[in-house]
Structure 1
Amino acid sequence: MTITLDHRAINQSPLALLTASEARMLGIGLGVRQYARVRAGIYVARAAYEKLPGWQRYAVRVHAFVRKHPDAVLCLESAAVLLGLPYFNEPKDIHVYDADRSASRRFGNVAVHTGADPRAVGDVRGVLTTSPVDTAIDLMRVLPLAQGLAVADAAISPKQQGFTSVRGMRDLGLSQRNRRGRGRMNWVLDHADDRAESPAESVSRAVIGWCGFEHPELQREFHYEGEDDRVDFLFPSVGAIGEADGWGKYDFDDPRKAEQHLRNEKRREDRLRRHGHAFARWDLSDVWKITPLVTALRAAGVPLKHPRKTAKLASLKSRPREKPYRARETT
């Protein structure tokens, strides 16, 4: 089947890939100061590569792998790059699905997966991946809970990918013979919400609950001064508003659009404050650290209603599938 791309899908390498043979033809020297090897025989400009956020470095690595292995079927985080599903920071491994293997194997930083449960395979502009729903379920089984929740929300949200439903994922997941990560998958599906509009909102919602704060309403609309304003979170007992900022919403790749968005956002926040709403604002890096998010919510008067879930909060620091990070990032 052919898979329709989501706008978050990275369907080509963020940097130009240069093979060793192409470099020889062009008379380009592949000195280590100028070029970084991202796959055997494939290079990119080092300075540009090192400036990329982790999730884009991973996309470069995935596309370099596909350049070398065009018939491979990507799965898990590697498929997420092409499908537009959330993945976080820079995953360590390239993940490939091979139904014909008798056992999963690792070849350096390439993990080749198989299993008793078959995966549907689709084509994304000439690149083979496991299907969106199979990829989502596989990720929910292995990712930390907050990240898995971001994947589930993206899969069901019409403002994100919206290619399936909770019931559809649960039915498929429970029909699989593989029991690894089933409890994790069930928790994620129990808490998924199709109103979430970004991974930052999904992770924030999980951490807000684990910290013991009042459960917020999502995407509440207000009508003040002739304007319609929709907010990420409303904490109903105190009327406080929470906003999970993501750089993408401000179009920082286009400075003029970014400037206009920021001006509009300032007017919007001032308008909501004039009508009695305290405001808490944070970004995803604040959520991973926990304390800045807690400080912002307390300053806005958001009440604590439940005991703190220490074990689940500790899971935010468990990132075994990622390379060491500079800052928490997501697509």
Structure 2
Amino acid sequence: MFHIALLGVLITVGIGGGFGYTGQRVVVEGQTFSNNLGSYDSFNPGRFFRDTNLVPYNIKIDKFTAKYETKIADALGTPIDYQADVTEQVQGKTAKSTKLRVNDPLEIGGTQVYLLGNGYAVDVTVRDGQGNIAFKDSVPFLPQDSNLTSLGVIKVPDALPTQLGMIGFFYPSATSLGTGALTSNYPDTINPKLTLDVYSGNLGLNDGVPRSVYNLDLDGLKPIASTPKAGSAQPLEAPLVLKPGQTATLPDGLGSVQFNGVKRFVSLDVHHDPSQVYVLVFAILIVLGLLTGLFVPRRRVWVKAVQGDDGLRLEYAGLARGEDPTLERAVDDLAKKHLSTLGSPVSSDRRKVSS
């Protein structure tokens, strides 16, 4: 049973890997994730995966709550608990509210949705030089340290008269260092600030080359509000520093940037493995087979009938795999039970042969 079940695990894992898939998606508070290929930030399908394997469902992140340590000085700011209030809905069924926690996945549409990470998304409105809204969205910024100092990129390809690109740092609890630079000393939003290095020029988004949304290629871009860098063109102004609700005007009539506020985002990991139940069954059989092999003695017993001058003689013998101190008693018990069924008396002639 042990060896057959082990083979079963290998087969089912292989089949499950072929038909399963995993995917990741970053979702900001108030936004909805739909289970289709276009909604994933990254997707890893199995060999036999087909688009039709995706069960249509939606998950809306209503609110994300993080609790941090506030009493123990040595652990100040350490995360205690994460929780996302979500609304789930499978196509054709009624929507319902539930909670998503770390190590407590959401079971929906044959998948398990795990809460992996979280961070801040800055809500920004960018107006171009003509006063039109060229960009308005909540942009996830990636955490850089335990106090959630976060780095992000904002690209505004529709701005006129020229495209705009920004590299920003968000500080949930901003404080100034001795050098004048900012840092965050606590992961919650006690004193949120956003700094932006702004560049103008062609962002290269129409070149047909895939580009990361978390990276800004500065080749060919003109700094208009940034920290001066040796060997490069000097910016027109210093980096923008904004608090929620503030607006900064860009030089040369290139528009303005408004920091509307901040939201939380969560990182979701979607996992589908159709072989989980079968793997569990075979794993249980493996354990049972192993326990049986460990605790049930494995013996071979022979019964030999020899015709002698004094009649029929029965000889009993046993062989154990490894040491078995109860082997002799087991052979004696077998002989007694066997002879009693034959109605024959038990002989006292008992011999033990070892090798």
Question: Shorter-chain-normalised TM-score: which range?
Answer: under 0.3
Structure with bigger strand share is 2
> Normalising to structure 1: TM-score of the pair?
0.23
